[in-house]
Amino acid sequence: MDMVAIHEIKYGDFLEQNLYRHDGLLALAKGTSIRDVEKQSIEDLQMQYVYVAPYYQRTFTNEETLEIIEDVIYSCSLWDMSSSKKLYTGLEKKLQRNQKVLSVLSLMREVDHYSFVSSINMSMVVAQLLMVDNRIDRHLIEIVFYSLIHDIGKVKVAKITHKQGGLTDSEFKKVQQHPHYSRELLEKYGFSKNDVNFVIQTHERFDGGGYPLHLKGYEIQPIAQVIAIAETYNALSSFRPHRPPFHPIEVSEKIEEEKNKAFAEDYVMLFKEKFNPYQEGARVELNNGMSGEIIQVNPQIPLFPLIGVYNETTGEVYTKINLYRYRDVRIARVLPKERL
């Protein structure tokens, strides 16, 4: 493993660290094979150096998969360290008891890195949306667990989704069947049909324009609607070769536009009221080059917090910037929490 400058990365090198994006969630996971798209993503993060290893016959172990999930939960600024510990401990127990599902997540890391990262990030968003007073209970852990594993059927269509060029009609239809593949796998591994029926509904739309069942309105289960919003947030917040990630303010506006279209109004309101990547105490970098920490969040305008800016010499807060007043200043990046 070597630390190399971005321009020195070779095609096919393996990333040997987790990289976090602008909102503090995962951008690229350890073990990712770096091709052109991944290199562009690293450049978008404005990284100077990263840890990589030259290509070798890598083994994607369950242990390392758990380590990645643990690192994301503890690095995430969506909750405090005590909540991180409770959430990871609960998820780790459930994954250890379901080794076959854990093995499919490890396979997903290898064959469909994007879906693996998406599953983790989306489950973190679900956790914050449904968390009450920073409490982690069994019910929440259960929902986050199902959110994490709901898309494992993607491994059956990974070759199609990663092919060069556009998809044929038959290939596109097969990709749209991945929710069925997810449910089949989960039932095969001992989950009841009742518990996992929601996985075929996460790509449905409130207006009936989704797939694969074309359900409409409240025919869609609540957990599926929450996951659908979380997936949309993650997709819009992620780097794409044709566009940079959208800022949380822009993502919130786009989700608002889908009210009573893709999502029920009450779930859009849940998202706007509950989800906020900017939590008090989080360390941040601003688009003007300054660094600081979030010292106050106004519940009425949570995406425009009060920032305490650090003195570069002493590291102490020396001035405050109200992002609602100074609209040209934005949070460029939420820094990962430091694990004590």
325 pLDDT higher than 70 = yes
Looking at residue 336, the DSSP 8-state letter turns out to be P
Q: Is 44 exposed, middle or buried (0-12, 13-18, 19+ CB in 10 A)?
A: middle
Question: Which pLDDT belongs to residue 161?
Answer: 85
Do 35 and 175 lie in one domain? The reply is no
Residue 98 in this model has a pLDDT that exceeds 80: yes
pLDDT greater than 70 at residue 294: yes
Per-residue pLDDT for 183 more than 70? yes
Claim to verify: residue 75 and residue 169 sit in the same structural domain? yes
171 and 76 share one domain: yes
Q: What is the pLDDT at residue 165? A: 77
191-250 per-position pLDDT tens digit:
999 999 999 999 999 999 999 999 999 999 999 999 999 999 999 999 998 999 999 999
Contacts of 246 (CB under 8 A, 6+ apart): 236, 237, 254
**pLDDT digit string (tens) for 149-171?**
999 999 999 989 887 778 888 99
Q: Which amino acid makes up residue 70?
A: E
Number of H-type helices and E-type strands within the chain? 13, 10
Average pLDDT (54-62) is 86
Digit-coded pLDDT (tens) for 124-134: 999 999 999 88
pLDDT above 90 covers what percent of the chain?
87
| 117-to-50, 94, 101, 283 alpha-carbon distances in Å | 18, 19, 16, 23
In this structure, the answer to whether residues 317 and 269 fall within a common structural domain is: no
Q: Give the closest residue to 323 by CA, choosing from 282, 278, 283, 270.
A: 278
Does the pLDDT of residue 315 top 90, yes or no? Answer: no
Q: How much is the pTM?
A: 0.95
Does 339 reside within a domain?
no
Same domain? 252 vs 172: yes
Q: Which domain holds residue 20?
A: 1-58
* pLDDT at residue 340 in the model: 61
Which DSSP symbol is given to 319? E
Residues 260 and 117 in one domain: yes
How many domains in the chain? 3
